[in-house]
C-alpha cells in the first residue's frame, strides 16, 4: 500500500490561502477603520441632534430617495424638524444636490413643532435623472444638521 503525503495536499492550498489573506488584510483593516469612523459620526449625530439615521433607499422606480430617521431626543431634534429649514441631499461622488419635491400640499418631508421621541420621520428627495444608484454615498443636510457618508440601499 502506497503512503500518501498529506502535506502535499494541505500545504499548497493552505499556503495559497495564507498568501491571499496577507494580501487582503490591508483592505479589511481600511474598511474596518472606515466603519469605525462612520459609527463615531453617527454617535456624534445622536448626541448633538438627538436623531438616528435609519435608512436611505431608492423608491418610486428609483425616482425618489426615501430617508428615514428616528428621534431620540425631542428637544435636540427640534431644529432639524422645523418647517422653514431647507433639506437637501448631496451625492458625495459628484457633488450634485437633490432637493425635496414640493407638491400642492407642501414639501414631501415630515416636519413638526413638537418632535416625539421614538417616532420615525421621513423625507423624500427627488432623483428624477436616476443618477443616484444603490451603493452610492450621500449626505443629508437640513439647516445645520449634516449626516454624511450614508449608503443608499
Task: Give pLDDT, residue 123.
Answer: 95
Q: What is the distance of C-alpha 138 from the center of its chain?
A: 7
- Could you tell me the domains of the chain? 37-151 (2.60.40)
Task: Give pLDDT, residue 40.
Answer: 75
Under 8 Å between Cβ of 124 and 64: yes
C-alpha cell at 21: 489573506
Query: What's the pLDDT tens digit per position in 15-31?
Result: 555 555 555 555 555 45
Cβ atoms < 10 Å from Cβ of 118:
8
- Tell me the β-bridge partners of 88: 99, 141
Strand pairing class (64-71; 51-59) = antiparallel
What integer is the mean pLDDT of 47-58?
96
Task: Give pLDDT, residue 4.
Answer: 56
Confidence class of residue 153 from pLDDT cuts 50, 70 and 90?
Answer: very high
Amino acid at each position: 500500500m502506497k503512503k500518501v503525503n498529506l502535506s502535499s495536499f494541505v500545504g499548497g492550498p493552505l499556503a495559497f490561502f495564507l498568501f491571499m489573506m496577507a494580501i487582503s488584510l490591508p483592505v479589511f483593516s481600511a474598511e474596518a477603520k472606515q466603519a469605525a469612523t462612520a459609527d463615531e459620526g453617527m454617535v456624534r449625530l445622536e448626541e448633538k441632534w438627538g436623531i438616528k439615521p435609519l435608512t436611505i433607499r431608492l423608491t418610486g422606480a428609483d425616482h425618489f430617495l426615501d430617508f428615514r430617521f428616528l428621534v431620540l431626543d425631542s428637544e435636540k431634534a427640534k431644529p432639524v424638524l422645523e418647517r422653514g429649514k431647507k433639506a437637501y441631499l448631496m451625492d458625495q461622488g459628484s457633488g450634485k444636490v437633490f432637493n425635496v419635491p414640493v407638491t400642492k400640499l407642501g414639501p414631501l418631508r415630515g416636519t413638526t413643532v413638537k418632535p416625539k421621541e421614538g417616532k420615525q420621520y421621513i423625507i423624500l428627495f427627488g432623483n428624477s435623472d436616476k443618477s443616484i444608484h444603490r451603493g452610492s454615498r450621500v449626505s443629508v443636510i437640513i439647516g445645520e444638521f449634516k449626516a454624511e457618508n450614508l449608503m443608499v440601499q
